[in-house]
Structure 1
């Protein structure tokens, strides 16, 4: 029998893969960004970002040898490079293939959850960080020139950290559970990413 905590974790994971018909950059649009609250809500309602951020935390917990700093490499790398990408976008730096790379981030992180691939911490941070740059650039370009850009980005970053923590908690709860549960969740995210990738490629 699954505990309440595990059930909640599974619900959160399932929510991250509810839609495969939206575009690769979904959620609150640029014109509705108006500060911290709007920024905080954006990753929670943008299913592409929600799924990627939860999956990073989930993979980090599932692949870790034990509790400790090792858990933080992936989430810290993603959050840091998300901010770097957002600043690039605010400065008008355009990078190619933003939408395909956002979709690819779901495919890759989903497969990482399925495989529970264990890599050195710095490699994990850099690996997910590359994808995070594209998420950040998409946000930054939306917000460029807006007076509320920085409060909005702070809200997005706060939500990102929260979603990483939710993924970590879910992954830790599932470590000792039947492996198919986490693999099913990871495959759902990967399939979502593959479907989005085909739409934007």
Structure 2
């Protein structure tokens, strides 16, 4: 089961999650993070990072991401601007992957601030591309999907040896750079 989840997360997909969605559908909200490699990479990389750091980071980093993602989603749905949202999303892939690859141990407060910024950016994209009606159901879908992707990263981060974890972080950062160069 664990290997299947990892393989599914690594399957190629559209580079950016910018497609239309059914009004108010949990399914469309759930599918949004899986519709773009940029979202999947960042969310799994955050789980890898949380597992690598351990202790409180295992729950506080994902919780911070999801909470600020919801706030960002409300801002995006409300039409509030978020300058450079796409570069911020791509930066999240690169930076989170690099932190894992280099096994960097920043203070938790710094990690939480970066996580909050990245969560808000991803949420803004989800909200801005969300339905006009039924946004709460749609948001529930992208929250569940995000939590599952974080969980996948945590499970993988705890299951693989430290060197493989760092190589996975490197692959995520490299994929983020590739997406940035393609865009």
Shift in Å at residue 163 of structure 1? 1.3
- Report the counterpart of residue 180 of structure 1 in structure 2: 163
Q: Alignment partner of 1:132: what SS?
A: helix
Shift in Å at residue 171 of structure 1? 0.9
CA distance in 2 between partners of 1:180 and 1:46 (Å) = 27
- Report the counterpart of residue 30 of structure 1 in structure 2: 20
- Report the counterpart of residue 98 of structure 1 in structure 2: 85
CA distance in 2 between partners of 1:151 and 1:103 (Å) = 26
Q: Is residue 159 of structure 1 aligned with residue 145 of structure 2?
A: yes
Q: Is residue 110 of structure 1 aligned with residue 97 of structure 2?
A: yes
Q: Is residue 86 of structure 1 aligned with residue 69 of structure 2?
A: no
- Report the counterpart of residue 199 of structure 1 in structure 2: 182
CA distance in 2 between partners of 1:167 and 1:195 (Å) = 20
Tell me if structure 1 keeps the 8 A contact 2:29–2:130: no
- Report the counterpart of residue 46 of structure 1 in structure 2: 36
Uncovered stretches (5+) of structure 1, i.e. residues with no partner: none
- Report the counterpart of residue 55 of structure 1 in structure 2: 45
Q: 1:90 to 1:62 in 2, by over 3 A?
A: same
Shift in Å at residue 154 of structure 1? 0.9
CA distance in 2 between partners of 1:76 and 1:31 (Å) = 25
TM-score when scaled to structure 2? 0.88
Q: Alignment partner of 1:172: what SS?
A: helix
Q: Any idea what the Cα deviations from partners look like across 1:123-181, whole Å, max 9, x if unmatched?
A: 2222122112111111111126x11211101110111111111211111112xx2x331
Shift in Å at residue 30 of structure 1? 2.3
Q: Is residue 134 of structure 1 aligned with residue 121 of structure 2?
A: yes
Structure label with greater radius of gyration: 1
CA RMSD of aligned residues (A): 2.2
CA distance in 2 between partners of 1:76 and 1:97 (Å) = 24
Q: Any idea what the Cα deviations from partners look like across 1:54-96, whole Å, max 9, x if unmatched?
A: 11011111122xxx43321211111111111101111110111
CA distance in 1 between partners of 2:126 and 2:57 (Å) = 28
CA distance in 2 between partners of 1:33 and 1:107 (Å) = 32
Shift in Å at residue 198 of structure 1? 2.1
Q: Alignment partner of 2:32: what SS?
A: helix
Number of residue pairs the alignment of both structures matches: 183
Shift in Å at residue 114 of structure 1? 0.5
